Amino acid sequence: MPTGSMITKLTHLLSTLDIPADWVGLRATREASTHRSARDGMPETNGTSSTSGVMVEVLVQGQIGYAATNLLSAQSVRAAAEAAYQHAIAAKDWAIHPTPLSARPPVVGQYHSPRVKPFDVLSPGEINDVLINICHTLKRSDAIVQTTATAITTETESWFVSSNGSEVYQNFLRIGTDYAATAQAGAIVQRRSNNGFLAHCYQGGMEYFITPHLWDRVQQVGEQAVELLSAEECPTETTTLVLSPDQMLLQIHESIGHPLELDRILGDERNYAGGSFVKLQDFGTLVYGSPLMNITFDPTVSGELASYGFDDTGAPATREYLIQNGVLQRGLGSLESQGRSGVAGVACTRAASWNRPPIDRMANLNLEPGDCSFNDLIGSIDRGVYMEANRSWSIDDQRHKFQFSCEYAKLIENGKLGKTLRNPNYRGITPQFWSSLAAVGDRSTWQMYGTPFCGKGEPNQCIWVGHGSPVARFANVEVFGGGA
């Protein structure tokens, strides 16, 4: 349905609702995604998922009720609005905080993902051919026992209209690719992927699938999987740790993003995802990390996975510093959370789909570059470990004590990258870890990645986020290897 037609339809539906609400919003979503994968040179998955529906939000006496339906008929939407109204009425005397109308600002606008090559530039058969060839190219030796290759494309359209005049249309094109090789020699098993599982997630088209250096990189991934079989275990010691951008993705996500979500700090998530070691009074004063630490919420980066023009309540999205020169400035919180907490936030109220209510989420959360070249950053290290690509992640419910592992590492000795290490792990405590940030790479080392797997919320929601980072160096970190 053309953009204007859907807006017109929703506006008409809105005008036919007969409920005594203070505000009503209709957010319709239509999403089509394709998932294609190959394993060991054979097709593994070929599928398309289409979902569509409308979320009706109703504000009554400070309480929002919602109802979502996948049937976009007048009768169904009216029934949903009535159900949402009844929810609001039933809960209004138990509301945790009166939601003001200002939490749903009137806004008109559009957003479109950047795109160079449309998804249909390759046929399903051609995409399968590429994936199968990736599998064949990954298999650099008989020691490789599994090869996989995946391409996922998604087009999402959302339309938002409200009784106070909002009309927002957003069109997102997202693509995620992944390939990996698993090598085995007896009891030793090592898996190497292209910067971590589905780390290559972007907004855009097929230009992110057939990239200029694709085949060189595929070969390298296969060779490194085999290389890891004979590599030394990561040593157990406290040392200098250098993280590449594909691991910083995870480090930023888990130890900065989640603890700064205002709904976690307000306690909404304590029964599931957890709370936060950050307190409301910390904003503006807490020294979160070293002065080299500058973290932005930036939905304006072209091609980064979670760029957008408006969040799912219609709030216009802008670039903001969350942490500047190491000091905590603002949280990841919606207008609702900002009203509840009195803390400055950002436009980050997002829903995983039409069938979930919007909550505080990360979007693009980036570590801004410093002024250190890669060679300078490594060159000043007598001994340390350089790690690439996330393999495992675990952190406590206050986002305090973490343990992460990577796929691939190098020992740093006398200012140079040396021998390869396998099973690299490290652990730490969030504030101490970020306070030990000793050097930040310059723009030439900055890379952006994304993940479609950020989970939180009750009911649960899995959403896409982007993270860009330069290479970063941390002092005095516990590293260790594998083994029982």
Partner 1 sequence: MTTVELGALEQSFNTVVEQLRSGLNPGEHFTLTLTSEQSQFTRFNHARVRQTGTVCDGILRLKLMHDQRSSYQDFPFTGEVDIDRQEAQQVLYALRQEVAQLPENPYLILPSGRETSRELHSGKLLATERVPSTILPAVADLDFTGIYSAGLVIRGYADSMGQKHWFATDTYSLDYSLFTDQGQAVKGTIAGSEWDQSAYTAKIEQSREQLNRLTKAAKPMQRGQYRTYLAPAAVAELVAMLSWGGVSEASYRQGGSCFAALRRGEKKLSPKFHLKENFTQGLVPRFNELGEVAPAELPLIVAGELVTLLISSKTAKEYSLNANGATHDEGLRSPELAIGDLPSDRILAELDTGLYVSNLHYLNWSDRPTGRITGMTRYACFWVENGEVVAPIENLRFDDSLYQFWGENLVALTNVQEFIPDVGTYEHRNLGGVWVPGMIVDNLTYTL
> Stretches 261-269, 324-332, 362-370, 377-385: which one binds partner 1 (CB under 8 A)?
261-269
Q: Least distance (Å) from partner 1 to the CB of residue 374?
A: 28
Candidate list 3, 171, 398, 436; residue touching partner 1; CB under 8 A: 398
The verdict on 53 binding partner 1 (CB under 8 A) reads yes
The verdict on 374 binding partner 1 (CB under 8 A) reads no
- Closest to 119 (Cα-Cα) out of 149, 157, 154, 158: 154
- Pairwise CA distance, residues 309 & 114, whole Å: 12
- Closest to 388 (Cα-Cα) out of 234, 216, 188: 234
The verdict on 89 binding partner 1 (CB under 8 A) reads yes
The verdict on 47 binding partner 1 (CB under 8 A) reads yes
Candidate list 80, 168, 206, 242; residue touching partner 1; CB under 8 A: 80
Q: What is the residue whose two structure tokens read 């979902």?
A: 51
Q: Least distance (Å) from partner 1 to the CB of residue 412?
A: 23
- Pairwise CA distance, residues 338 & 445, whole Å: 35
Q: Least distance (Å) from partner 1 to the CB of residue 200?
A: 21
- Closest to 338 (Cα-Cα) out of 251, 245, 266, 429: 266
The verdict on 11 binding partner 1 (CB under 8 A) reads no
Calculate the CA 479 to chain-centre distance: 26
- Pairwise CA distance, residues 408 & 222, whole Å: 12
Identity of the residue, 424 or 470, whose beta carbon is nearer to partner 1 in the bound complex: 424
Identity of the residue, 144 or 322, whose beta carbon is nearer to partner 1 in the bound complex: 144
Torsion of CA 246, 331, 284, 103, to 10 degrees: 160
Q: Least distance (Å) from partner 1 to the CB of residue 39?
A: 8
> From the CB of residue 224, how many other CB atoms can be counted at a distance below 10 Å?
21
Q: What is the 3-state secondary structure (H, E, C) of 47-89?
A: EEEEEEEEEEEEEECCEEEEEEECCCCHHHHHHHHHHHHHHHH
Calculate the alpha carbon distances from 72 to 5, 21, 50 in Å: 13, 21, 15
Calculate the CA 474 to chain-centre distance: 23
The verdict on 88 binding partner 1 (CB under 8 A) reads yes
The verdict on 42 binding partner 1 (CB under 8 A) reads yes
Q: Least distance (Å) from partner 1 to the CB of residue 125?
A: 4
The verdict on 455 binding partner 1 (CB under 8 A) reads yes
Identity of the residue, 11 or 146, whose beta carbon is nearer to partner 1 in the bound complex: 146
Q: Which of the residues 462 through 481 are near partner 1 (CB under 8 A)? A: 462
Beta carbons of 414 and 382 less than 8 angstroms apart: yes
Rg of the chain (C-alpha set): 24
> Stretches 21-29, 90-98, 102-110, 303-311: which one binds partner 1 (CB under 8 A)?
90-98
Helices 124-138 and 214-229, axial angle in degrees (round to 10) = 40
Tokens standing for 250?
């995870």
- Pairwise CA distance, residues 414 & 110, whole Å: 53
Identity of the residue, 41 or 316, whose beta carbon is nearer to partner 1 in the bound complex: 41
The verdict on 380 binding partner 1 (CB under 8 A) reads no
The verdict on 232 binding partner 1 (CB under 8 A) reads no
The verdict on 349 binding partner 1 (CB under 8 A) reads no
> Stretches 64-72, 297-305, 313-321, 435-443: which one binds partner 1 (CB under 8 A)?
64-72
Q: Which of the residues 419 through 448 are near partner 1 (CB under 8 A)? A: 423, 425, 427, 429
- Pairwise CA distance, residues 463 & 475, whole Å: 33
The verdict on 334 binding partner 1 (CB under 8 A) reads no
Candidate list 51, 61, 220, 290; residue touching partner 1; CB under 8 A: 51
Identity of the amino acid at 54: V
The verdict on 20 binding partner 1 (CB under 8 A) reads no
Candidate list 1, 19, 91, 286; residue touching partner 1; CB under 8 A: 91
The verdict on 227 binding partner 1 (CB under 8 A) reads no
> Stretches 35-43, 202-210, 318-326, 434-442: which one binds partner 1 (CB under 8 A)?
35-43
Burial group, residue 42, by CB count within 10 angstroms (0-12, 13-18, 19+): exposed
Tokens standing for 326?
């190491």
The verdict on 61 binding partner 1 (CB under 8 A) reads no
Q: Least distance (Å) from partner 1 to the CB of residue 409?
A: 14
Calculate the alpha carbon distances from 95 to 35, 117, 335 in Å: 41, 48, 16
Using CB under 8 A, count the residues that bind partner 1: 86
> Stretches 13-21, 50-58, 155-163, 376-384: which one binds partner 1 (CB under 8 A)?
50-58
Q: Which of the residues 353 through 372 are near partner 1 (CB under 8 A)? A: 355-357, 359
The verdict on 188 binding partner 1 (CB under 8 A) reads yes
Q: Which of the residues 268 through 287 are near partner 1 (CB under 8 A)? A: 268, 270-272, 274-275
The verdict on 145 binding partner 1 (CB under 8 A) reads yes
Question: Which residues are CB-contacts of 376 (< 8 A; sequence separation ≥ 6)?
Answer: none
| Backbone torsion region of residue 284, taken as left when φ is above 0, otherwise alpha when ψ lies between -120 and 50, otherwise beta | left
The verdict on 132 binding partner 1 (CB under 8 A) reads yes
Tokens standing for 424?
């690299």
